């Protein structure tokens, strides 16, 4: 039994994905079958628990849902922050892929944007977006207060309505937030969808990338009944889409 425990520790620690590695140790053999199965259970449970309760849910809830001991969770993810980052990165990547698919397969700008929103809401990924992505937006008070260009973090396609050359995020991002290429990539691709729909006159001029991401996050309520949840999400998204569309003056 002692040998098995040692093998488990080695397989987990030396997996080399940057989440539970030990400095200076090269990648070794892949995880054992049972270790890999436990990892998959933990990740699936984390997505479910965080999707239902938010990232504030305790690790004990994740372990309980995965039907493993909490020690098993911590052996793979030494802190909750590591697990949260893993889940957020996966969901951000999934949304980016969905946005790219919509861009590549829909010629009409509004069809591309609405397809992205419907696909993303149906997948439930919005509930697991990293919080700093959802805070992105234009803060007019910050701009009018005279913050210098050096103080602003600039992101392509995030423009203030009425000032097409001004691209800002309305809050100072922390170093950790800036060191998130996946999130920045998501903002870039969704920004292309937003710009196309706005240029075509089909999207309200004051709608930002942040607004679109907030639609994804809020239009996917977590309800106990799957059919009820799907119906509620579809209904809410229809209403939100109508709110995003531009109207003739």
Res. 232 pLDDT band, cuts 50 70 90: confident
pLDDT at site 159 = 37
pLDDT at site 65 = 96
CA dist 90 → 3, 96, 133, 180 (Å) = 33, 10, 14, 12
Three-state DSSP string of the chain:
CHHHHHHHHHHHHCCCCCCCCCCCCCCCCCCCHHHHHHHHHHHHHHHHHHHHHCCCCCHHHHHHHHCCCHHHHHHHCCCHHHHHHHHHHHHHHHHHHHHHHHHHHCCCHHHHHHHHHHHHHHHCHHHHCCHHHHCCCCCHHHHHCCCCHHHCCCCCCCEECCEEEEECCCCCCCHHHHCCHHHHHHHHHHHHHHHHHHHCCCECCCCCHHHHHHHHHHCCCCCCCHHHHHHHHHHHHHHHHHHHECCCC
Structure tokens at 200: 């075509």
Res. 9 pLDDT band, cuts 50 70 90: very low
Res. 90 pLDDT band, cuts 50 70 90: very high
pLDDT at site 30 = 57
Structure tokens at 68: 């493993």
For the cut 90, the answer to whether the pLDDT of residue 98 exceeds it is yes
pLDDT at site 224 = 74
Res. 59 pLDDT band, cuts 50 70 90: very high
130-178 residue pLDDT tens: 877 776 554 433 333 333 333 333 333 333 333 333 233 334 444 555 5
The predicted model scores a pTM of 0.68
The full DSSP string for 121-143 is: HHHTGGGGS-HHHHT----HHHH
pLDDT at site 240 = 92
For the cut 60, the answer to whether the pLDDT of residue 226 exceeds it is yes
Residue 215 and residue 127 in contact, taking contact as beta carbons nearer than 8 Å: no
pLDDT at site 18 = 40
Within 10 Å of residue 24's Cβ, how many Cβ atoms? 5
For the cut 60, the answer to whether the pLDDT of residue 248 exceeds it is yes
The mean pLDDT of the chain is: 75
Give 142 or 107, the one with higher predicted confidence: 107
Res. 249 pLDDT band, cuts 50 70 90: low
pLDDT at site 22 = 40
15-50 residue pLDDT tens: 434 444 444 444 445 557 778 888 999 999 999 999
163: which strand partners?
160
pLDDT at site 179 = 66
For the cut 80, the answer to whether the pLDDT of residue 212 exceeds it is yes
């Amino acid at each position: 039994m002692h040998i098995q425990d040692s093998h488990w520790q080695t397989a987990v620690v030396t997996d080399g994905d940057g989440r539970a590695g030990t400095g200076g140790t090269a990648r070794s053999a892949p995880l054992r079958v049972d270790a890999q199965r436990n990892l998959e259970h933990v990740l699936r449970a984390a997505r479910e628990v965080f999707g239902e309760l938010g990232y504030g849910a305790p690790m004990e809830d994740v372990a309980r849902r995965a039907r493993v001991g909490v020690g098993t969770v911590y052996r793979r993810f030494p802190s909750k922050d590591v697990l949260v980052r893993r889940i957020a990165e996966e969901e951000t990547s999934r949304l980016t892929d969905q946005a790219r698919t919509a861009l590549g397969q829909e010629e009409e700008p509004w069809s591309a944007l609405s397809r992205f929103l419907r696909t993303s809401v149906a997948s439930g990924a919005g509930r697991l977006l990293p919080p700093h992505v959802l805070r992105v937006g234009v803060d007019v008070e910050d701009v009018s207060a005279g913050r210098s260009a050096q103080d602003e973090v600039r992101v392509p396609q995030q423009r203030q309505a009425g000032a097409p050359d001004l691209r800002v995020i309305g809050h100072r991002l922390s170093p950790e937030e800036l060191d998130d290429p996946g999130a920045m990539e998501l903002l870039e691709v969704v920004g292309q969808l937003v710009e196309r729909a706005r240029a075509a006159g089909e999207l309200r001029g004051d709608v930002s990338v942040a607004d679109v991401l907030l639609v994804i996050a809020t239009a996917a309520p977590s309800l106990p009944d799957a059919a009820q949840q799907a119906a509620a999400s579809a209904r809410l998204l229809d209403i939100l889409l109508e709110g995003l569309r531009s109207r003739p003056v």
